[in-house]
Amino acid sequence: MSLAATTPAERTTWLVLVAISLCHMINDIMQSLLAALYPLLALEFDLSFWQIGLMTFAFQVTASLLQPVVGLVTDKRPMPQSLPVGMGSTICGLLLLAYASSYGGLLAGAMLIGIGSAIFHPESSRVARLASGGKFGTAQSLFQVGGNFGSALGPLLAAFIVVPLGRPSVALFALLALAGMVILNRIGLWYGALARASAARGRERATHGLPRNRVIWAIVVLAVLTFSKNAYTASISSYYTFFLIDRFDLGIVPAQQMLFLFLAATAAGVMLGGLIGDRFGPLVVIWGSILGVLPFTLLLPHVGLAMTGVLSVLIGVIIASAFPAIVVYAQMLLPGRIGLVAGIFFGFAFGMGGIAAAVLGVMADARGIAWVYQACAYLPLLGLLTIFLPSRARLAS
């Protein structure tokens, strides 16, 4: 049975969308704990910036390498029950982060969390599209906003639970992940029933009529846009607390609270991106997001603490709105390849973010953390490549 044959439910299944978004929140809370733990781990294990970057690299590139493979396989053969298996891998990673006695153990924990992410994202993105009832942008945003909200909660949970109680308290979050496994098992039953019911409808066929080379070029452009977004986001999620501590002499807890503001803003931006994309088309959102954020990224390294907080919120909202639009646009380019699209873009996002984090860590060691933010401010200029994407009318023809 080909999962490409599975068509969306006729009506938007909001309960499933809320449930998969909740599980995305749980998944990304676990992921964001890793970045939020960096200052604590740096003190306990005497880590340099490049070692912190390598941990991000281990997590994100593990996810990046596996996600397209998972997407390809599940496009051909549905695996509804792979969703709780992915969360189980995340639980194992959390336990390693809580109790590892060496840097190698920390790396292994980061990689297990990456494997869990690789299994979770392609299939859960497909669930969101199947439950959308045709509201693809809204469904993708609701799914993604759960992840962004989870990413925003991670630093707060680290600040108020892990920092006071110590690193072993990370193991407490395995209970939350266990609850996620139970929910994902129920979602898997719904997903499997829908797949079986629609298996006889045939493969979804491309309708845009674009030549193969044009589609490949458009996917490459979208991948570069994703890189520009995630490389900048990686500079915030991995090093923002260090930037604030270095520049404004903040403590770890206030710095993590500032990181929460940015990550919460990205959650709002993701939701807005999907809603606007359903109304005006994904290209409008991509243009506005990638280029609209440039003035604010250029200002960020040169302002005071209060304005840094304001700009962080604006940057988070604007830059995050692009990703659901990019995913929906890619699904339009590759109809019937939902898992592959999710694997490429969630995986590419993780992988490029990991590579950027590792490179930025080396540069921060060599030239200072402030230089990193001055250099990254120009990344949104890559958004000019959007001019090479086919118009919405061309895709609909």
Please report, for residues 250, 314, 316, 384, the alpha-carbon distance to residue 247 in angstroms, rounded to integers and kept in the order given: 8, 20, 20, 32
Residue range 137-173, pLDDT digits in tens: 888 888 988 887 787 787 778 878 887 888 888 888 9
DSSP 102: S
pLDDT tens-digit profile, the chain (397 residues)? 343 445 555 677 889 999 999 999 999 888 878 877 888 888 889 888 888 888 878 887 787 778 888 888 888 887 888 899 999 999 999 999 999 989 999 999 999 998 998 889 888 888 988 888 878 888 888 898 888 778 778 777 887 888 788 888 888 899 999 999 999 999 988 888 877 766 555 545 545 677 888 888 989 899 888 888 888 887 777 788 888 888 888 888 888 888 888 878 887 888 888 888 888 888 888 888 877 888 999 998 889 999 999 999 999 999 888 888 898 888 888 887 888 888 888 777 666 766 777 788 888 888 888 888 888 888 888 888 888 888 765 665 5
Total number of domains constituting the chain: 1
Angle of helix 14-36 versus helix 252-280 axis, rounded to 10: 150
Residue range 273-298, pLDDT digits in tens: 888 888 888 888 888 887 788 899 99
CATH number for the domain that contains residue 243: 1.20.1250.20
The answer for residues whose C-beta is within 8 angstroms of residue 393's C-beta and 6 or more apart is none
Structural domain boundaries enclosing 264: 3-396
HSE (side-chain half, CA atoms, 13 Å) at 109? 25
The answer for residues whose C-beta is within 8 angstroms of residue 103's C-beta and 6 or more apart is 45, 47, 51
Residue type, 306: A
Cβ distance 85 to 57 under 8 Å?
no
Q: What is the pLDDT of residue 25?
A: 92
